[in-house]
Amino acid sequence: MKASDILDFDDLRTKVVEVKEWGCELTVRELGLEDGLKMFSMVQDIDDNPAINAEDVAQVVAWGVVDAETGDRVFSDDDISALAKKNSKPLMFLYQEIIALSGEEAAKN
C-alpha cells in the first residue's frame, strides 16, 4: 500500500438530510481532522465554556454541506456572511447533523 492509496481514499462519512425550511435534501459530510479541530476550538471560550456565534455555525455548515455527486462544498468561504443571515432553524439543524457525523463526543474524550 502506498501513501497515495490512503490519501486518495474518501473516508469521510456522508448523510442525506431533509431541510424542510428550504424544501430540499442536502448531503452533509463529517469534518476532516483539520476542519474538525478548527470547529472544536472556535466553540470554546477562554474558560472552556461553549461560545458559538452565527459566523461559526455558518462556517461549519459551509465546511460540511457537499454536493452529493462530486463531494465538493456547496458553500464557499465567501458565502459565510450571507449564510449567517439565513433562518437559524435550518442552519442549526445542519450544524448539529455535521457535528454528530464528525463525532463531537469522541473528539471531547
pTM for the predicted model, two decimal places: 0.81
- 26-35, 39-48, 55-64: which range is least confident on average? 39-48
State which residues form the domain around 61.
14-104
Is residue 2 situated within a structural domain? no
How many domains does the chain fold into? 1
Judge whether 109 lies within some domain: no
In a domain, 5, yes or no: no
Structural domain contains residue 100 = yes
* Residue 1 within a domain: no
Q: Classify residue 4: in a domain, yes or no.
A: no
Tell me the pLDDT tens digit for each residue of 45-93: 555 666 678 888 999 999 999 999 999 999 999 999 999 999 999 999 9
User: Which residues lie below 8 Å from residue 62, measured CB to CB, with a gap of 6+?
Assistant: 73, 75, 76, 77, 79, 80, 83
CATH number at residue 69: 3.30.2220.20
